[in-house]
Homo-oligomer: A and B are copies of this chain.
Amino acid sequence: MAKAADFDVREATMDVARVAVQKGGYNALSYRDLAAEIGVKSATIHYHFPTKADLAEALVARYVEDFQKHMEPYLEKSFDEAIEAYLKLFKVAFDGTNRMCLGGMMSAEVSALLPPAREQIVRFAAGHIEWLKTVLAKKHRRLSAEALEDRARAILYALEGAMLMVRGQGGDDAAFDSVVGTYRATGLLA
């Protein structure tokens, strides 16, 4: 069965799978469901991603690269603008589909992942922390690189926790905002 020339099974698989993992997790991801949604057979997905481990690695790798591409321009902007854009990145996941951050979701399921995918999870956190360090340095000019990194890490981890728990409690983006407000008020996010 021929497909349209502009239809790429590999790209379609990654798009659908990323959202599916964000909604239900990696362990709940089904090659058959994926294939049905795309309009191919599950064996076709295996042709492009031989095992779920390959798909997992590719998903997180692309997620990391998308973050870089999308957030690098904000390193030229002010601290406030950059942080606002960063928080929006988390907030939009609540819109309608109630997605979890892919990095946080697969962190929960790390025991199901092989080393290549685990390395991408580490790259994910490293990418966020590096970006946050650069942004934090704009405001906290007297902090050491180590202190900036600790602070960046604490912000990332706290935001992932807020996302994880708000979603688990059935909350929405307003509930997420409320927790972020408390992070701000106590001094973590500033």
A binding-site residues for B, Cβ under 8 Å: 23-25, 27-28, 98, 100, 103-112, 118, 121-122, 125, 150-151, 153-154, 156-170, 178-179, 181-183, 185-188
Contact = CB atoms under 8 A, between A and B. Distances in A.
- Copy number in the complex reads 2
A115 to B, nearest CB: 10
Contacts of A108: 25, 100, 104-105, 108-109, 164, 168
9 closest Cβ pairs, A-B complex:
A161-B161, A107-B168, A187-B187, A27-B27, A154-B182, A108-B108, A158-B158, A157-B165, A160-B161
Contacts of A183: 154, 158, 188
A127 to B, nearest CB: 13
9 contacts: A23-B111, A104-B165, A104-B168, A107-B167, A108-B164, A110-B167, A121-B169, A150-B182, A154-B186
A162 B164 CA distance: 11
A46 to B, nearest CB: 21
B165 A111 contact: no
A130 to B, nearest CB: 14
Given A151-B186, A187-B187, A164 B167 contact: no
A112 B27 CA distance: 11
B118 A170 contact: yes
Contacts of A151: 182, 186
Nearest to A119: B170
A125 B105 CA distance: 19
